[in-house]
Structure 1
């Protein structure tokens, strides 16, 4: 089978659709490529929000990656189940989430857990709960470097750091600088914006050391800025999408040659009129936060134009004389693979173009055990 047909499944008649399928050999290649793009594997801290499964995380651990980032308690527990050495919950745990986080720390002692803080009230509460449980929680100060979602602005961060140093029960070990607002295709523009954003973190790091305090590690970036941060010394980098890649980042980041490793398999189920086809890939099957034209792109039918989508259906303009018939199979790349994976409880693995097993997306749920 030619490289251009890498995604085809020989025993496709055994696969019900819509289905999320994963190609493990491509996943391994992507992990290897990630390692080749940085000088020291210890500087990698991949985000597991994309894969949400133990098997993919285990492949990274086997490849020598020891540090990870996650966004939910379920993702954090998944890393504990994998015995990952280091897991940063890139979230500030509040209320019951903090109680669950403390239970994680106690239940999975092999994994060193840490979390984010960005305001004094939350930091004090984390400190209090840690003291009640006779533990010290490592924390990273979450900086707002342009995402305008969470994080403290750099102008207030130094005094925040000094205040938090007085709190028992927590230990500040680093700075978290996520630049998810930067996704320009033009690399020169992306580099410029990345440098401007990162300077806020670098300056705070310098101000802290100038004040006589220990230097803090910086965890920076996501997928679009990974190649930029990878060239910096010491900085830990946190790409996530690399492991499966998707249509969106393949267009935004052509300089990153990761391989698509996750595909949505669909079937034609109806022919509404002479130019249109309807397939079984609705909102429940592929991430729908983007405009209709940027949700899924078909490897074996790139000319199909989405014109309508509902929960279980996607209507596509195929043109007169298209030749499609019910039962025909389409192989689609999601534009945004991370939330797409969250729609599936399992991914079907494809090896040597045949169904080989399944990976359970255990962290798609809000709760595994804790």
Structure 2
């Protein structure tokens, strides 16, 4: 086994006889370290609003709360409900409320009055719908205007944001809390160039925020940044930062953003189920076990870093060693430890994650919010 110089690599689990595969494995101490690194970088817990879409686990939310992080961001109503169930103080649903989701949202707000809920709006049609339903329910909905800073996925363009702000102000049943800006397209690898590009893209947002604050009845908040870009916004006074992947990290961000201090804290454990005569071996890590929306490589094998993916189906992944390699193929039944290229959708493939403490399986955490619906 190509384990390098370490006698006991950090990822190695002592007793895996009862560990089914493929399995999602979470390394508790590394998770804590990643949270501490984020807190140290930002320097102000009140400015951290982590996105829970990566982990979807109540236990991780509670650990963040124990580290004095009380504001959260999410992408589904199930994630919002999970946060309410752990008594999160402030929850932003960073997704438009369309169709029956609006009714679910109102029920959730009524069921958990101790949590301050807010959602996004990026067009007047949606704002009118929210206003009408809020008035009929006798409620006040808090919203953030979703601004498109260049990613072109959701949000209103910068040149139209002021008009939307003024139009929404005329509606009853809605209170504008601030602006939401997700710059997920900012993926410049060099940190100095990333900062430079972030400052360039942020300049018109800053002007817009300043202008809107002049006519707003109360100071507007700004929620901005994801895992690749949040560090470029730390110096922006008052901005709330919303990375998500930092808790577990992954191969993709680790490869492209080595300046960020986070370490992999969640792996997929897979077993060799066959070794073929053609020089490949088969793992039980198909597309049902690891995010497969990108081309190969979809994982890095820590104990066999030379392995190359050849073919993947629903239940299987065939791998081989490069030509001329002096390493030996892993044996049937052997365990491989894989860092997913993209951890967020990988987590959503599992019902639970196994928690490792001091090299041993110590707990099992349910990935509760992988469901689209918990109660509401």
Q: Scaled by the length of structure 1, what TM-score is found? A: 0.97
1:308 equivalenced with 2:314 (yes/no): no
SS at 2:270's partner residue?
strand
Measured against aligned partners, the alpha-carbon deviations of 1:302-342 in whole angstroms (never above 9, x if no partner) come to 10000110100001012577242210110000011000000
1:10 equivalenced with 2:14 (yes/no): yes
Measured against aligned partners, the alpha-carbon deviations of 1:140-196 in whole angstroms (never above 9, x if no partner) come to 000000110000001000011001001111100110010001112111221122122
Match of 2:357 in 1: 351
1:99 equivalenced with 2:103 (yes/no): yes
For the 8 Å contact 1:52–1:364, the answer to whether it is kept is yes
- State how 1:1-370 maps to structure 2 within 5 Å: 5-211=9-215, 213-293=217-297, 295-318=298-321, 322-370=328-376
For the 8 Å contact 2:182–2:224, the answer to whether it is kept is yes
Greater Cα shift, 197-206 or 331-340: 197-206
For the 8 Å contact 2:281–2:329, the answer to whether it is kept is no
Shift of 1:128: 1.0
Distance 1:212 1:262, change over 3 A: closer
In structure 2, distance between residues paired with 1:41 and 1:246: 24
Greater Cα shift, 25-34 or 14-23: 25-34
Q: Which runs of 5+ in 1 are unaligned?
A: none
Measured against aligned partners, the alpha-carbon deviations of 1:238-293 in whole angstroms (never above 9, x if no partner) come to 00001011111111211111121101000001112242111000100000011122
In structure 1, distance between residues paired with 2:301 and 2:160: 47
Q: Scaled by the length of structure 2, what TM-score is found? A: 0.95
For the 8 Å contact 1:145–1:177, the answer to whether it is kept is yes
For the 8 Å contact 2:120–2:143, the answer to whether it is kept is yes
Q: Which runs of 5+ in 2 are unaligned?
A: none
For the 8 Å contact 1:275–1:322, the answer to whether it is kept is no
SS at 2:354's partner residue?
strand
Measured against aligned partners, the alpha-carbon deviations of 1:22-50 in whole angstroms (never above 9, x if no partner) come to 01121111111111111311000000000
**Runs of at least 4 residues off by over 6 Å:** none
Shift of 1:211: 3.8
For the 8 Å contact 1:245–1:260, the answer to whether it is kept is yes
For the 8 Å contact 2:320–2:329, the answer to whether it is kept is no
Over the residues paired in the alignment, what is the CA RMSD in angstroms?
1.5
